[in-house]
Amino acid sequence: MKIVISGGPGTGKTSIINELVSIGQIVFHESSREITTKYKKLGHDQLFLSNPIKFSEILLANRIKQYKDANKFNSKNCFFDRGIPDIVAYLDYKKVTYKKDFTINSQKYKYDMIFIVEPWNEIYKKDQERYESFNQLIDIDYFIKETYRGLGYEYNIIPNGTIQQRVDYILNEIQ
């Protein structure tokens, strides 16, 4: 089963992903930070802000590869730190005009379950790669939900709680 864990920046998504890894789940990690770090070294402070299409094309290629790589694990659960539709959500959030490829691939590569981590002010922190304010996070959350809904997905909201409680919720829902 292909399972997406999505949500805006600073919602605790990475902590959930890291806990899934620590208990032996198959996880495909978010590559946005790697792309951002790589391009910072090349002189682009925030590639997504300066060239959102280029950033998104790199991200799309990475996510399609992850999706295909997950096919090697036929009967096992594979968790994805964000899915292909998240790319569309972020481009829509930034009001960027983009090629149909992004939407076509969001429709082509289907996931079995979607979990969304909502904004939670008490745990939100900015960092080197996270430039969004909490209010922007609320907007991003809206676009993520609308994108998945528009593609015909029903999604589960991961309730606030400890990391373990959140992971337990996910594992109970996928059984």
Give the orientation angle of helix 84-93 with respect to helix 134-150, to 10 degrees.
130
**Predicted local confidence at residue 38, as pLDDT:** 74
Profile the chain (175 residues) by mean pLDDT over runs of 10 residues: 94 94 95 72 68 88 96 90 97 95 96 96 70 85 98 97 98 95
Q: Was domain 2-174 assigned CATH 1.20.1740.10?
A: no
Beta carbons of 117 and 4 less than 8 angstroms apart: no
**Predicted local confidence at residue 45, as pLDDT:** 67
Local structure of residue 82 (DSSP, 8 states): S
**Predicted local confidence at residue 43, as pLDDT:** 67
Q: What is the pTM of this model?
A: 0.90
**Predicted local confidence at residue 128, as pLDDT:** 61
The residues spanned by each domain of the chain are 2-174
| CA proximity to 94, closest of 61, 56, 43, 125 | 56
